[in-house]
Amino acid sequence: MMTDVVLHIYDVTNSGSEKTNNTVLQINRIFKDRIGLGGIFHSAVQVYGDDEWSFGFCEEGTGVFSCPSGKNPMYTYRESIVLGKTNCSIFKVNQILRELSREWPGHAYDLLSKNCNHFCDEFCERLGVPKLPGWVNRFANAGDAAAEIAETTALRLRQAKTEIVSASKVAYRFLVGVTSGANGATPDSPGGSNRGSPRFQATWFKSLITDGAKPSSSSGIDNQGDNVNQQQRQQGVSLTRPLRQNSQDSERQYDRRHDM
């Protein structure tokens, strides 16, 4: 014996605030009635008898419950849709409901990923009839997808941060190795200079701030150049004296030859 499976749909107006409830009704009228996109809805499934079955939050026990079809006092009734006919017997339907009662505890309720519409989808699948129309749960599905994307993005950002930190550590170890190698070079080798050492750089920086010194050892070269120039000047003076003496000796010899 086959029987109809009926979906009952409500506008969610159980916020306790008249303003919020009116806002929900307005959203559903615009996005469902005018655009056909979806809205904020509660749903329940009726099969055999006058009761409908749905799912909601509770702290303990199952979240599966029933009430007279189309008369849930928590919401505003909107419409009903016949989803198809099921081949399941009453006994089979009761068995399915017992299984769902164990699998859907009230504390597991989640507005985006495990709500009343998800329960009705599961119930209809086990009854062998089509699932709910897409617009009934579209907002929740979109919110769940957005949350998943946000979580994936956050995970990727954490992974990128980890990679950046790892690369920085590798670069730091490399630089430390280079510095250590430079400091450990022999004094006679070009790498033996301490100009790249942190101590030299700190000293040079302090000197640069105080008296404008340059990061070069040219000052030592300039001092050496000054010493050489001074020595050359001294040598030049001592060399000009023998030349003058030779000139005077030549003049004396010339005069003597003429006197003779």
Model confidence pLDDT, tens digit, residues 132-146: 999 999 887 764 344
Catalytic residue among 8, 88, 116, 120: 116
Instruction: Pick 114 or 220 by higher pLDDT.
Output: 114
Q: Tell me, yes or no, if 116 is annotated catalytic.
A: yes
Least trusted range by pLDDT, from 63-67, 119-123, 181-185, 232-236: 232-236
pLDDT given at position 139: 83
Catalytic residue among 8, 42, 88, 124: 42
Model confidence pLDDT, tens digit, residues 38-61: 899 999 999 999 999 999 999 999
**90-103 and 116-127 helices, crossing angle to 10°:** 140
Model confidence pLDDT, tens digit, residues 186-221: 444 444 445 545 555 555 445 544 554 444 444 444
Q: Tell me, yes or no, if 118 is annotated catalytic.
A: no
What mean pLDDT is predicted for residues 107-126?
A: 95
- State what percent of residues in the chain have pLDDT above 90: 47
211 Cα distance to chain centroid:
47
Instruction: Pick 184 or 130 by higher pLDDT.
Output: 130
Starting at the edge strand found earlier in the chain, the sheet holding 41-46 runs 64-68, 51-55, 41-46, 3-11, 76-86
